[in-house]
Amino acid sequence: MIDEAELFGTPGQTALMRRGAAARILLGDNPRFSWYGRMTALGDPGGDTAEVLAALARLQGAGVCYFYPEDRAERLFADLAARGFATDRHEHFMGSDTALSAARAALNDVPLPADLTLAAVGWDTPREVLVAIAELCCECGVMPVPGSVMRGVALDGICLFATDPSGGIAATASCFRMHHPASRRARVAMWGLLATRPDRRGQRIALHLGARAMLHMHDRHGMRAFMTGVKADNASSSAICYRLGVSATGMIYAQCLDETLLGGSSITR
């Protein structure tokens, strides 16, 4: 499912992805669990959320629950802290029809700068290109995903990248299937891993790539909604999400962290 030779990121991040892929082998048949290459996560909170997050954190170093109601976060985090875990959160952003309309409008109105060449990672893309995309992600504080996910081999998905005339990667954006086919969220895709090289920011490159990635997953794979996690203090990420009709939902990605197992490794922005 994942190729050891194509795990990118810090040693802590690659170790987390390795454990996440192992958990996926054990839990992948259960529609409550989701995966898009980083770690296996709970996609469907319930009365047992704290228990399940603690178990995921013990196994992987991090347990994440999507779609968790914000107004219950404080109680959940107190429960996890009492069990000896650290906690963190991303705001759960999501968009469906609004996102698709915004993406179509963006593609109409916002061309890619003329000096850039757009491509999608495929099964035959040279490893060096994946390394360069992952390096850009890391430089921008975004945790990369395994090569088999970037290539659309481990699951349906697309990783777009824009190359400048010198061959450097100027920007990347991705969209992946992440939920089990029997989940009620089967048609909600993970959208994100947006990273634009600092010298090319503000040229609406992420807007163009993000819109394209979303529409590809809708047109090719029937995805109807697009979710992503945004750190509350990440103004640029939040701005591009709203620009593409992906907005705050009143839910969070609740994180339970086993700091000993994580070894000081940060997950993603």
Ligand X SMILES: CC(C)(COP(=O)(O)OP(=O)(O)OC[C@H]1O[C@@H](n2cnc3c(N)ncnc32)[C@H](O)[C@@H]1OP(=O)(O)O)[C@@H](O)C(=O)NCCC(=O)NCCS
CB of 57 to ligand X, least distance (A): 22
Sites for ligand X among residues 135-194 (CB under 6 A): 140-142, 171, 192-194
Which span sits near ligand X by CB under 6 A: 20-28, 82-90, 123-131, 199-207? Answer: 199-207
Mask for 81-120, x = binds ligand X (CB under 6 A):
----------------------------------------
Classified as helix, coil or strand, 86 is strand
In whole angstroms, give the CA distance from residue 44 to residue 257: 18
Nearer to ligand X, 30 or 249 (CB): 249
Q: How do strand 169-177 and strand 188-196 relate by DSSP bridges?
A: antiparallel
DSSP character for 150? H
Nearer to ligand X, 35 or 93 (CB): 93
In whole angstroms, give the CA distance from residue 124 to residue 6: 13
Nearer to ligand X, 171 or 251 (CB): 171
**Do 149 and 37 contact (CB within 8 A), yes or no?**
yes
Q: How do strand 188-196 and strand 225-230 relate by DSSP bridges?
A: parallel
In whole angstroms, give the CA distance from residue 121 to residue 38: 18
Token pair listed for 260? 């000993």
CB of 265 to ligand X, least distance (A): 18
CB of 144 to ligand X, least distance (A): 11
CB of 135 to ligand X, least distance (A): 13
Classified as helix, coil or strand, 162 is strand
| Residue 201 binds ligand X (CB under 6 A) | yes
Sites for ligand X among residues 202-261 (CB under 6 A): 202-207, 234-237, 239-240, 243
Nearer to ligand X, 182 or 235 (CB): 235
Select the residue interacting with ligand X from 19, 38, 216, 269 (CB under 6 A).
269
Closest C-alpha to 269, from 211, 192, 159: 192
Nearer to ligand X, 78 or 235 (CB): 235
E-assigned strand segments in 58-187: 62-69, 86-95, 117-120, 157-163, 169-177
Nearer to ligand X, 80 or 206 (CB): 206
In one-letter notation, the amino acid at residue 191 is: W
The residues of the shown chain that bind ligand X, judged by CB under 6 A, are: 140-142, 171, 192-196, 201-207, 234-237, 239-240, 243, 269
